[in-house]
Amino acid sequence: MLVLEPFISSSCQLPVANQPKPTHLNRINASGAMEIEVANCSKRGASTADDRDMVRGVYLAWQDLTVVLPNFGNKPTKRLLQGLSGYAEPGRIMAIMGPSGSGKSTLLDSLAGRLARNVVMTGNILVNGKKKRLEYGGVTYVTQEDVMLGTLTVRETLTYSAHLRLPSNLTGDEVKDIVEGTIMEMGLQECGDTLIGTWHLRGISGGEKKRLSIALEILTMPKMLFLDEPTSGLDSASAFFVVQSLRNIARDGRTVVSSIHQPSSEVFALFDDLFLLSGGETVYFGEAKMAVQFFAEAGFPCPSRRNPSDHFLRCINSDFDTVTATLKGSLRLRDKPSSSDPFTNMATSQIKAALVEKYRHSQYAKMAKARIQEISKIEGLEVEAISGSEATWLKQLITLTKRSFLNMCRDAGYYWARIVIYILVSICVGTVFYNVGYGNTAILARVACGAFITGFMTFMSIGGFPSFIEEMKVFNKERLNGYYGVAAYTLSNFLSSFPFLVTIALITGTITFYLVKFRSGFSHYAFFCLNIFFSITVIESLMMVVASVVPNYLMGIVTGAGIMGILMMTSGFFRLLPDLPKIFWRYPISYISFGSWALQGAYKNDFIGLKFDPLLPGGPKLTGEQIITQYFGVTVDRSKWWDLTAVVIILVCYRLIFFLILKTKEKASPFFQEIYAKRTIEHLDKRPSFRKIPSLSSSKRHQPLHSLSSQEGLNSPLN
């Protein structure tokens, strides 16, 4: 989160969000002079609480922002954004608008510091006049996909989020008041106690999910809020409600930047500023209400009864040319007579190129450049990058444990289904090996039963992987917004799953131990259950590691099953440990395989102290030590508890690997991405085609396909 602490004297004034501004130029000049005076006053050290509350957001500006998708082969490098410049101010809501593929989400990700690893960005991003990299927890970002735990209610989701992020010294009543106030602000009163919904449970509507996503991020009243198409998939009423809520947030002095595809006229009127994109280029940037005037000045006036956003996209979306040419080719559309107006017969690609060129030399571009220069000279508004959470680590751990435990209790696929399956399989194992006895045939039966329990039965823990993947999605979103750390999440997951794993181990151990009649005694029973518990927990931890590397649950299950198969092969059941090839399979695979340690401990726990009938009648009885040593290659020079300790060590190692993978992704990614960007730029600078920006008007890909006048008569591609 970005913290802004300006010290302002009572004689200084800041631009108020709802102050009337007759023109874009007047707003720029007036606000710029005021903000510079604020900086000068801040140096004098005088301040009041009322003045400090007037600006709660940050001044964000970007200069010559270019994003490319490198291609080191023969294909050309793709430019996603081409030299964009603009700014966003506190108290105003800015819309980034354009057709699909225009670069809206790319620009938003660039400003929020969330670009994909395979793209390269150049240019400057200024926060309160200073170059700054926005990292984890630096800004609040509402993604287009609503990622939440579907087993929780709306009120529970907000309450847990509040406890994770709000200061720990707040009382329960104060946190409750904040949650209830946020619910009322976003209009979620009617669905406050409704489950969000999962694949098998119907929950709240799409519009309510979107409002809940926004509510989660405004709980802490962030300085800067980014939203990726918050109205996507919503009806006009829901979209209006969402944007109106965002407008209210902006009016409270926050900086709000949102991408949007094609809003209704009512929604469009709520935006203060507009950044219109097409093909990664700036078509218009300025006050939203002045965009109509710009298009009129460029020779493309908006009809009086048309939605401005529809008209803008109609002029700059080249897909209309393709649709029209397709319909013309199928003899379903005819050209209208040519008009005396030269622009009505231009293809959309030509109109777009004309608008881009018009903006570059317009007063709007000059005003935007001047305003960016003023913002870059702001002084006295210091920004401190802090975590998105003000709660203590212990408070986060407790909250995460409670939330995760509640999610596991309500998600039938997480543990309950597995508990039922474990009960059924345990009964089957117990009845198949019922009262196995002490005959010579019982030797192999006991070995097979132990191997099945420690190997195949623990393998069923892989079934909870899809539910864990959904939980990981929530973690990734919340971690990016700075809710909590990796350590708190890793430990809370183990603590919340502990009761379920103990339940599985006790049920499985009790049923099989007493039906099969392994060696009696409480210590042997306790070891048997502990061996099952830690074996299952190791599998859970292994799948967590797989989830951190392979986030797709289908690929994750395949990967996890493959690793489990390798570990089971080297456990000592299918081939004795001494007989394994020494290179690789014996050292180190069998030593890092939990199955080999768990199986050796199970053999010692069951066989040592017992005597079995001889293989030939009349011979001496076989001792358990003799059997596991001579026939199964298990050494008895160490205790079974040391074997169990080895399983615990493997468990801890998997958890640490999971933690290190998440931390490495978080810390190392920016470093390697910076190196990748520098090398890519050096490589691309050698290409003449990269240094020269292609013109849309001369592009073979965007040749005129059909006139705009023909498109005016086209109501729907389906008719």
pLDDT tens column, 327-370 = 566 555 455 545 444 444 677 788 888 899 999 999 999 999 99
Pairing of β 92-97 and β 273-278: parallel
Residue 125 has pLDDT above 70, yes or no: yes
How far apart CA 706 and CA 702 sit, in angstroms, is 11
Mean pLDDT: which of 317-326, 373-382, 502-511 is highest? 502-511
pLDDT for 660: 92
Question: Other CB atoms closer than 10 Å to residue 343's CB: what's the count?
Answer: 17
Question: Other CB atoms closer than 10 Å to residue 181's CB: what's the count?
Answer: 11
Residue 493 has pLDDT above 90, yes or no: yes
Mean pLDDT over the full length of the chain: 80
pLDDT in tens, 250-261: 988 889 999 998
The ranges assigned to domains in the chain are 1-139+222-337+345-389, 140-221, 393-669
The 8-class DSSP code of residue 463 comes to G
Burial readout 305-337 (b: 16 or more C-beta within 10 A, e: otherwise): eebbbbbbbbbbbbebbebbbebeeeeebeeee
> What percentage of the chain reaches a pLDDT higher than 70?
78
Pairing of β 583-584 and β 587-588: parallel
pLDDT for 4: 37
pLDDT for 332: 54
433 to 421, 422, 450, 605: CA distances (angstroms) = 18, 16, 11, 17
pLDDT in tens, 81-112: 988 999 999 999 999 998 888 889 899 988 88
How far apart CA 112 and CA 273 sit, in angstroms, is 18
Mean pLDDT of 16-23: 37
Q: How confident is the model at residue 113 (pLDDT cuts 50, 70, 90)?
A: confident
Pick the CATH number of 1-139+222-337+345-389 from 3.40.50.620, 3.40.50.300, 3.40.190.10, 2.150.10.10: 3.40.50.300
Q: What is the pTM of this model?
A: 0.79
How far apart CA 42 and CA 58 sit, in angstroms, is 16
Residue 602 has pLDDT above 90, yes or no: yes
pLDDT for 339: 46
Which residue would you say has higher pLDDT here, 178 or 716?
178
